[in-house]
Amino acid sequence: RFQGLAAGQWLWVPRAVERLHLEIENASLGGWWWGGARGVELSRAGAGSSSKVLEVTAPDPFALVFVPAIEGGRLSVIEGVEPMPLAGPPSVIPDEGAVSWRDRGRPPAALEGVEQTMRRLRAQGYL
């Protein structure tokens, strides 16, 4: 059961995107990802910068990435095609290009939607 969820930036990167390399403003090095990929790496953008650099290589079948980012969370593409910004999690699993959405965080009592999404992904064979 989820205990709460931090604010941050979500990215869904499907197999069709071979490589995505971007910078996320005001992010932290925590975070996590699900799915499969040759590589998912989060690193500091540079000395004194509050931005982090995310690189996703060869997702298979996808990489779902969460990067904590309390303020901002704006994405800047370094290499690859810019993810399509969404207002919230996609209602249909993306398979052509990457998508992103910002989450303001949730207390434990508000996570039913996250659990429903995880059940749907399991039922569809993604998890």
Comparing C-alpha atoms, which of 28, 22, 20, 40 is closest to residue 76? 22
Here the tokens at position 35 are: 């799915």
Contacts of 45 by beta carbon, 8 Å cutoff, 6+ apart? 23, 51, 52, 53
State the CB neighbour count (10 A cutoff) for residue 59: 26
- The answer to whether residue 85 scores a pLDDT higher than 50 is yes
- The answer to whether residue 1 scores a pLDDT higher than 60 is no
Q: Looking at 12-16, 33-37, 77-81, 104-108, which range is the least confident one?
A: 104-108
The pLDDT value recorded for residue 28 is 84
CB 15 within 8 A of CB 8: no
pLDDT level of residue 94 (50, 70, 90 thresholds)? very high
pTM recorded for the entire structure = 0.76
The pLDDT value recorded for residue 115 is 73
